[in-house]
């Protein structure tokens, strides 16, 4: 559908942003539902998220995805922030509610919805180890705690970041070490090890995990990291980060449009781009 005079606009801001899969996900969703909306990417340099929010207000942009380096800085310019975004100190989604700009974090519930989509794990009965304590790991940890996970153990190279991240799960969170993965029902790699220039590396020894345990590697590019390949070769149930990517976008779509996200159309579109 070509834009018209009444087309509503959603966008992502970030730097870098040209590789973002968000336009693919959201435009596929608008198209599937026949909505007169379109989604574009704006390269916005660090320190300029306030200017971007002024543009959102002036132009009446309806929804904004926020990625690095703006996820924390943008909190200052919003009219309201959801409890989960406030706890994480990170916003990845802004909804323009008739001029009131409301920040949310859909990565946290998006991870949990993706997990429910991929697995049949009962989180209330699950001991989870999250490896990593950066922005992505923090969203996973908070999402798991909000969804009622029995225990969330955080393992990270840098100890003070691990302590701050574990605190996001309140009394169910603690810092652990890599041997804790042996007794976990679910292990999540939320480090950047396995992507970018670290594709040959594994975040932990896959031999620590046995069949019967579930692993999610939140990396989705490559779709099969070395960790996932070795785990699957050992008969372990293991998933990549595509579901988290998909369901964080689905939730943002629903906040902006009020419609149920067409998840399978979004999934097909993103998989076809990643397959290229």
Active site (catalytic) residues? 71
CB of 203 to ligand ATR, least distance (A): 6
The rounded distance, in Å, linking the Cα atoms of 135 and 192 is 11
* Neighbouring residues of 120: CB distance < 8 A, sequence distance ≥ 6: none
Q: Percent helix, strand and coil across the chain, each rounded to 5?
A: 45, 20, 35
Query: Which phi and psi (to 5°) does residue 80 adopt?
Result: -155, 155
The rounded distance, in Å, linking the Cα atoms of 161 and 77 is 26
The rounded distance, in Å, linking the Cα atoms of 255 and 276 is 30
**What is the widest separation between alpha-carbon atoms in the chain?**
59
**Encoding tokens for residue 92?**
């990845």
CB of 235 to ligand ATR, least distance (A): 26
Q: Which residues bind ligand ATR (CB under 6 A)?
A: 132-137, 156-158, 161, 191-193
Which helix (H) or strand (E) segment holds residue 160: the answer is helix 159-166
Going by C-alpha positions, the residue among 191, 234, 249 that lies closest to residue 28 is 249
Which helix (H) or strand (E) segment holds residue 87: the answer is helix 83-88
In the bound state, the residue with its beta carbon closest to ligand ATR is: 134
> Hey, how many other C-beta atoms are within 10 angstroms of the C-beta on 115?
27
How far is CA 185 from each of CA 125, 182, 215, rounded to the nearest angstrom? 9, 9, 9
C-beta closer to ligand ATR: residue 158 or 268: 158
> Hey, how many other C-beta atoms are within 10 angstroms of the C-beta on 134?
14
The rounded distance, in Å, linking the Cα atoms of 70 and 78 is 12
């Amino acid at each position: 559908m070509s834009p018209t005079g009444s087309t509503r606009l959603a966008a992502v801001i970030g730097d870098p942003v040209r590789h973002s899969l968000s336009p693919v996900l959201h435009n596929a969703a608008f198209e599937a539902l026949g909505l007169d909306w379109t989604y574009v990417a704006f390269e916005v340099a660090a320190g300029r998220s306030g200017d971007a929010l002024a543009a959102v207000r002036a132009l009446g942009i309806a929804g904004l995805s926020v990625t690095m380096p703006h996820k924390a800085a943008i909190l200052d310019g919003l009219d309201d922030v959801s409890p989960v975004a406030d706890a994480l100190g990170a916003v990845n989604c802004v909804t323009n509610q008739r001029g009131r700009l409301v920040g949310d974090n859909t990565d946290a519930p998006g991870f949990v919805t993706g997990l429910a989509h991929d697995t049949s794990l009962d989180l209330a009965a699950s001991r989870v180890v999250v490896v990593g304590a950066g922005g992505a790991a923090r969203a996973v940890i908070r999402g798991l705690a909000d969804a009622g996970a029995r225990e969330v153990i955080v393992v990270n190279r840098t100890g003070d970041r691990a302590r701050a991240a574990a605190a996001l799960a309140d009394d169910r969170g603690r810092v652990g070490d890599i041997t804790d993965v042996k007794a976990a029902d679910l292990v999540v790699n939320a480090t950047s090890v396995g992507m970018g220039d670290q594709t040959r590396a594994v975040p932990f020894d896959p031999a620590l995990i046995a069949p019967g345990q579930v692993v999610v590697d939140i990396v989705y590019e490559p779709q099969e990291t070395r960790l996932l390949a070795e785990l699957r070769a050992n008969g372990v149930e293991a998933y990549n980060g595509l579901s988290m990517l998909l369901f964080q976008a689905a939730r943002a779509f629903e906040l902006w449009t009020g419609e149920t996200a067409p998840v399978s159309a979004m999934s097909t579109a993103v998989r076809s781009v990643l397959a290229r």
